[in-house]
């Protein structure tokens, strides 16, 4: 069976400061059994690889110039079973004040996620990081869960900025 592709270019959404995750997932849900997704993005969407792998897709990524990427997602036929992810915290009551605060609103993806994960690696279990972002960090959440961190986030009262508090934890395989 020949694989055909549905094209989705999320570069304009990303350049306008938007979050294309919902549009990507809509496109994936609408694919036929013999179809794959050809995605164009302004960065290599590494966190998306795991999300779609869990839905039974493999990927092939290549830089196409100017920092832009083309990624082909093909059905592999077998979704990858993931360990249960931790859920966001229902409350931050009892959490200490943040020891580190970051303003990532002027950064392009995936730099905010990279900076947050790097900062968390230098912190002690139980410490809290606060970060301001331009959008809800959909790709960050599975990475936090994988590392055993808890978080709570939401839009600020201005309705524009997203604030997340992350409490450093231990990866599930090292929890005592």
Where exactly are the structural domains of the chain? 4-75, 100-174
In angstroms, the first-to-last Cα distance of the chain is: 49
pLDDT digits (tens, 9 = 90+) for 135-150: 888 888 888 988 899 9
Rounded CA-CA distance 83/172 in Å is: 10
- For residue 17, what pLDDT band results from cuts at 50, 70 and 90? confident
- For residue 77, what pLDDT band results from cuts at 50, 70 and 90? confident
Q: Are 104 and 168 in contact (CB under 8 A)?
A: no
Pairing of strands 57-65, 100-103: unpaired
* Superfamily of domain 4-75 in the CATH hierarchy: TusA-like domain (3.30.110.40)
The pTM (predicted TM-score) of the whole model is 0.58
**Does the pLDDT at position 43 exceed 60?**
yes
Whole-number average pLDDT of the chain: 86
- The C-alpha angle with vertex 102 and arms to 134 and 42, in degrees rounded to 5, equals 40
**Does the pLDDT at position 116 exceed 80?**
yes
- Compute CA distances 76 → 47, 57, 98, 126, 142, whole Å: 18, 5, 43, 39, 21
* Superfamily of domain 100-174 in the CATH hierarchy: TusA-like domain (3.30.110.40)
Q: Do 4-75 and 100-174 come out as alike in CATH topology?
A: yes
Sign of the C-alpha dihedral, residues 13, 17, 22, 25? positive
- The C-alpha angle with vertex 18 and arms to 16 and 20, in degrees rounded to 5, equals 125
Rounded CA-CA distance 22/163 in Å is: 20
Residue 16, C-beta contacts closer than 8 angstroms, at least 6 positions apart? none
**Closest by alpha carbon to 105, among 147, 66, 134?**
134
Write b or e for each residue in 29-65: b if 16 or more Cβ atoms lie within 10 A of its Cβ, otherwise e. Answer: eebeeebbbbbbbbebbebbbebbbeeebbbebeeee
């Amino acid at each position: 069976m020949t694989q055909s592709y549905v094209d989705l270019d999320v570069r304009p959404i990303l350049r306008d400061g938007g979050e294309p995750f919902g549009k990507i997932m809509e496109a994936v849900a609408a694919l036929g059994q013999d179809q794959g997704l050809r995605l164009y993005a302004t960065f290599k969407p590494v966190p998306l690889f795991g999300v779609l792998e869990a839905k039974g897709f493999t990927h092939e990524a290549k830089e196409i110039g100017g920092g832009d990427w083309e990624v082909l997602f093909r059905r592999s036929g077998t979704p990858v079973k993931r360990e249960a992810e931790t859920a966001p915290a229902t409350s931050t009551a009892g959490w200490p004040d943040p020891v580190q605060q970051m303003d990532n609103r002027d950064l392009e993806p995936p730099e905010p996620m990279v900076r947050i994960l790097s900062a968390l690696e230098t912190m002690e279990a139980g410490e809290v990081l606060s970060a301001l972002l331009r959008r809800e960090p959909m790709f960050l959440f599975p990475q936090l869960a994988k590392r055993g961190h808890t978080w709570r986030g939401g839009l600020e009262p201005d309705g524009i900025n997203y604030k997340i508090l992350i409490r450093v934890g231990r990866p599930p395989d090292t929890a005592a």
